[in-house]
Structure 1
């Protein structure tokens, strides 16, 4: 990772909190968990734990991605929530702005992914040893003037950089992506990818929980 400049800590107010879990809106540019080295200790987990000492990260977002994250309060809820994610019982939807005009109104990308080890953290498509990954997309808005498309992305698997690689492979990289966008990286001052919607059943009560966080772009 290059030099890390996390956003100024102005306090993170959970969008939802009870005795068992937290929902927060992670800002772009902030690591979900600590990176290697003391200079990468500042992260969402540490900021939240300063307020809620029992908070534990259940899943992650890329540093450059903003949006909804779930944290468990305590080991037992961490186990239960982790199982929900592992069993793909959590509905996750993202919004992104991609380069070019996407012709299809909706569709899916199914490509096997694996770490491009000499160039990590980059991921790559590998039909021999890559792990299966599936993303569904839905076109939200075309911007012919700027040659851009706003899309909703629904990952059915949770591979590293899945949405970023899939859109790039589709020929429509996400703006601001420093790994996969090529020239389109410079069309935004951040990665235009945001975890917008999250839905799952509360592991203890069975209550249907749905959260929405509008994108800041």
Structure 2
């Protein structure tokens, strides 16, 4: 998912540090905290971000994919141009596997399935996105119910984006009738207010190491 939050909004950066999950000479895998941009925003006050923090320690780190400001979880950061190019091609070929964990309102009607709904920018409500069969880009998300809490009427779900559209997971779950807790962009206010953060975390990622050709797999449990 990419950063596509309002360019004019001030997004205060969390003081929570990122965590290094894996490190070698050519790449890092880090766990990004929620409420931190992956790259600098256009607003002058949105310069504190994951890549700038990482570059203080690893000056050659570069961004090959992003997580939204509100989303926490695993991010691959190449340290060389060759590795950047290779992993970028893996993302383009959709061979990088990743899944997220989210907490949503309500009980899912089906325990698993695929959401196949085209997504387009909502020109009337930027920076939001919407389901739009006419102008939207093809978008698919696999989902699986992990657990349901009848007391709170909330479901914990595993989400696997087949495509990587902006805000895809939030928009797709909303289209199913299950807004994410803490989602101040899309959820009704009562649901957004149920959590101080967006309940969405990039928990798992799998890719091939560009130099060793080894399959690399990483898990970072959701902090909620």
Q: Give the TM-score, by structure 1 length.
A: 0.97
Structure 1: which 5+ residue stretches go unaligned? Answer: none
Partner Cα distance (1:99, 1:59) in 2: 28
Aligned to 1:181: 187
1:127 maps to which of 133, 143, 156: 133
Aligned to 2:216: 209
Aligned to 1:95: 101
Displacement of 1:37: 2.5
Equivalent residues of 2:147, 2:155 under 8 A apart: yes
Aligned to 1:190: 197
The correspondence of residues 167-178 of structure 1 with structure 2, limited to 5 A, is: 167-178=173-184
Aligned to 2:76: 70
Equivalent residues of 2:99, 2:159 under 8 A apart: yes
Residues 40-98 of structure 1 deviation map (CA, whole Å, 9 limit, x = unaligned):
11000000000000100110000000000011112111111111111101001000000
Aligned to 1:146: 152
CA spacing shift, 1:23–1:100, aligned 2, 3 Å? same
Displacement of 1:117: 2.3
When the two chains are superposed, the root-mean-square deviation of aligned CA atoms in Å is 1.0
Residues 112-159 of structure 1 deviation map (CA, whole Å, 9 limit, x = unaligned):
011112322100111111100000000000000000000000000000
Partner Cα distance (2:170, 2:153) in 1: 18
Displacement of 1:187: 1.2
Partner Cα distance (2:19, 2:149) in 1: 33
Partner Cα distance (1:7, 1:178) in 2: 17
Structure 2: which 5+ residue stretches go unaligned? Answer: 1-5
Aligned to 1:50: 56
Equivalent residues of 2:10, 2:46 under 8 A apart: no
The correspondence of residues 8-27 of structure 1 with structure 2, limited to 5 A, is: 8=15, 10=17, 12-27=18-33
2:43 maps to which of 37, 40, 44: 37
Residues 173-217 of structure 1 deviation map (CA, whole Å, 9 limit, x = unaligned):
111111111131111111000000000111221101000000000
Deviates more, 1:111-120 or 1:192-201: 111-120
Displacement of 1:103: 2.3
Displacement of 1:109: 0.5
Equivalent residues of 2:106, 2:153 under 8 A apart: yes
CA spacing shift, 1:13–1:149, aligned 2, 3 Å? closer
Partner Cα distance (2:30, 2:123) in 1: 32
Q: Give the TM-score, by structure 2 length.
A: 0.94
